[in-house]
Structure 1
Amino acid sequence: MDDVIIIGGSCAGLAAALQLGRARRKVTVLDTGLPRNRFAGHSHGLLGHDHKPPLDILAEARQQLARYPTIRLVNVRADSISGAIDDFSVLTADSATLGARRLILSYGVVDQMPDVPGFAEGWGTSIVPCPYCDGFEVAGQHWGLIWSGPQSMNQVRLFHDWTDRLTVFADGHDIPPATRADLAGRHVPVVDGRITEIVRQGGHNANVKLNNAPDVAVDILFAHPRNQPSASLHESLGLATVDTPVGIALKVDERRETSMPGIYAAGDLANPGMPSVTTASWQGATAGISAQQSMLA
């Protein structure tokens, strides 16, 4: 039996494994090899790894974990979880049954692409969600923002640290008059109508086509599509969740423990705020340390 099984082997899961391996705890990491940020050309803001391809960062992390004899990395999907604290059982897609005293869920989320031609193809390159991740490289250029709800106004305020050239695409949302007046006072134009297609054209990263207005070309387009957990294990366990503007996140305490004793969560799956590789890493490290300390005699 393992001390801990970690389900999800991106930044959060590997950071948890590192802490546990250094404490000489026996840990197995189960991973499908499909991290959320695999579409991005580079990852930014992670100290020591700034401007590196995200898959290169993960490959280096896995190589570093190889020096710890109690860590095992397995490329397989976890299909189900049963049991309770000190006696959890995980059934994998290859019909193996693994046991552990503690579990860490870090299987992340999947972004739900809208049914707009060109959106999925541009995701992670010309269409991005996070200014902290990609804003510096396009600072001072013409940005676009697809409105997704009241939370988008916070993005408008945030973006002004990077650029004073911003266009908002309402995309069918009813933006209240007071909000429109606020946007006008900030010299942010609002383009009404539904987005019908997004294409790369000329020197612009995104040419936004609309159903009732001329095309608008921007250098980068920010969007916040809804997301959902990449697996449903938390549902079968009945773990508590919290609502966010773009989906749900697992509810955890300050030690990253979920509503079920012995199960911890980290990364985008349990992050109701702005996701980043830095945040995922510290959450994973906290989950690993908390799981280890919960097993002390």
Structure 2
Amino acid sequence: MNDVVIIGGSFAGLAAALQLGRARRKVIVLDTGRPRNRFAGHSHGLLGHDHKPPLDILVEARQQLARYPSIRLVNARAESVSGAIDDFCVVTDDNESLKARRLILSYGIVDQMPDVLGFAESWGTSIVPCPYCDGFEVAGQHWGLVWSGPQSHQSARLFHDWTDKLTVFADGHDIPSDIQADLTHRHIPVVDGRIVEIAHHKDHITTVILDTRRNVAVDILFAHPRNKPSASLHQSLGLVTMDTPTGIVLKVDERRQTTMPGIYAAGDLTTPFLPSVTQASSQGAMAGIFAQQSMLV
């Protein structure tokens, strides 16, 4: 019997494994090797690893975990989960059955690219979601923001700390008049029309092509496409989720436990706003600690 099976081996999952391994708990980490930020050239804001490629950070993290004999890293996908606290069973895609007293879900989310020519190819390079992750490197340049709902107003206000030149693309949304007035007050132009194509050039330079036959060049484009959990295990378990402007996240309490006793969650799967490697690592560490403490006798 394992103490914990962790489903998802990116920043949150490995951080959880580290804490559990240091407590000499028997841990298995299942990972498919497809982290959400694999498209990014560099990861920013993680103390000690700022401006490193995210995949390089994960390779180094796995190497560091090798010194803990109670941690086993497995390249596999969890196909099903059953059981209850102290008696969970995870079946992998190679038909291995893993027993565990606790589970940590950290399988993250996947971004759902809009049906816009060039958008997916530009994701992570000239189209990014987070100013804390990528804003410093393009500070002072011309930013674009694809409007996705009321939450975009906060983004427009937030971006002022990085740049004074911002263009908002309405992309078919009807922006309320009071918000329009505030954007005008902030000298932020709003471009009407739907985006039909993204033309990526060298570095971050992007041309946004609209159905109005207007083309607008920006240095970086911020967008927040819909996302969804990268697996459906939470659905089969009946875990409670919460709706957010960009998708759903798992509901957890202050100890990172989901609505089923013995199952914890961390990382982008539980983060409704501005997810980052820093948040994922912190949440993963706490999930590991709280899972370990829940097994004390």
Q: TM-score, normalised by structure 2?
A: 0.99
Look up the match of 2:264: 264
Per-residue deviation, 1:177: 1.4
Per-residue deviation, 1:55: 0.1
Look up the match of 2:90: 90
Measured against aligned partners, the alpha-carbon deviations of 1:35-57 in whole angstroms (never above 9, x if no partner) come to 00000000000000000000000
Look up the match of 1:105: 105
Matches of 1:184 and 1:203, distance apart in 2:
30
Over 3 Å counting, the alpha-carbon distance change for 1:102 and 1:179 in structure 2 is same
Matches of 2:232 and 2:202, distance apart in 1:
42
Matches of 2:267 and 2:84, distance apart in 1:
22
Look up the match of 1:289: 289
Matches of 1:44 and 1:59, distance apart in 2:
16
Q: What is the DSSP-based 3-state SS (H/G/I as helix, E as strand, rest coil) of the residue aligned with 2:46?
A: coil
Measured against aligned partners, the alpha-carbon deviations of 1:206-255 in whole angstroms (never above 9, x if no partner) come to 10000114200000000000000000000000001111110010000011
Determine if contact 2:126/2:203 at 8 Å carries over to the other structure: no
Deviates more, 1:204-213 or 1:118-127: 204-213
Alignment of 1:22-171 (within 5 A): 22-171=22-171
Matches of 1:92 and 1:204, distance apart in 2:
40
Look up the match of 1:200: 200
Alignment-mate amino acid for residue 255 of structure 1: R
**What is the percent sequence identity of the aligned residues?**
78
Aligned length: 297
Moved over 3 A (4+): 201-204
Determine if contact 1:17/1:29 at 8 Å carries over to the other structure: yes
Look up the match of 2:15: 15
Tell whether 2:279 aligns with 1:241: no
Alignment-mate amino acid for residue 75 of structure 2: N
| RMSD value, Cα | 0.8
Matches of 1:169 and 1:65, distance apart in 2:
45
Matches of 2:90 and 2:203, distance apart in 1:
50
Q: What is the DSSP-based 3-state SS (H/G/I as helix, E as strand, rest coil) of the residue aligned with 2:268?
A: helix
Matches of 2:36 and 2:160, distance apart in 1:
27
Over 3 Å counting, the alpha-carbon distance change for 1:204 and 1:37 in structure 2 is closer
Per-residue deviation, 1:203: 7.0
Determine if contact 1:204/1:217 at 8 Å carries over to the other structure: no
Determine if contact 2:125/2:204 at 8 Å carries over to the other structure: no
Matches of 2:158 and 2:213, distance apart in 1:
27
Over 3 Å counting, the alpha-carbon distance change for 1:90 and 1:202 in structure 2 is closer
Matches of 2:201 and 2:245, distance apart in 1:
31
Matches of 1:205 and 1:130, distance apart in 2:
17
Unaligned runs of 5+ residues in structure 1 are none
